[in-house]
Amino acid sequence: MLAPSGPPRSIATPCVKVCVVDGASGLCLGCFRTLPEIAGWSRLSDAERERVMRELPEREKRQATGGRQ
């Protein structure tokens, strides 16, 4: 087994330490991720995390309008 060449790589996260989940949408009102996304964040690939990060602004906008566009 190879020893790590340095400290572990930091994983980008949208977490803002406001962890309140909206019951209707299932989204965290701080970062707008779902509970499964939050729980599995460290196991997602970089591409999967990037996809979720791209979706967050639209989720925030929908949340602000109560799901209406």
Domain assignment present for 55: yes
Domain assignment present for 52: yes
DSSP assignment string, 23-37: TTT-BBTTT--BHHH
Domain assignment present for 29: yes
Residues 6 or more apart whose Cβ sits within 8 Å of residue 61: none
What local confidence, expressed as pLDDT, does residue 68 receive? 61
Q: How many domains are contained in the chain?
A: 1
Tally of residues, the chain: 69
pTM as predicted: 0.80
Q: Return the beta strands (E) in 2-59 as ranges.
A: none
Q: Per residue in 8-42, is it b (16+ CB within 10 Å) or e — as a string?
A: eeeeeebeeeeeeeeeeeebbeebbbeeebbeebe
The predicted-structure confidence for 4-52, as pLDDT tens digits, reads as follows: 677 777 788 999 999 999 999 999 999 999 999 999 999 999 999 999 9
Residue-number span of the structural domain to which 65 is assigned: 17-69
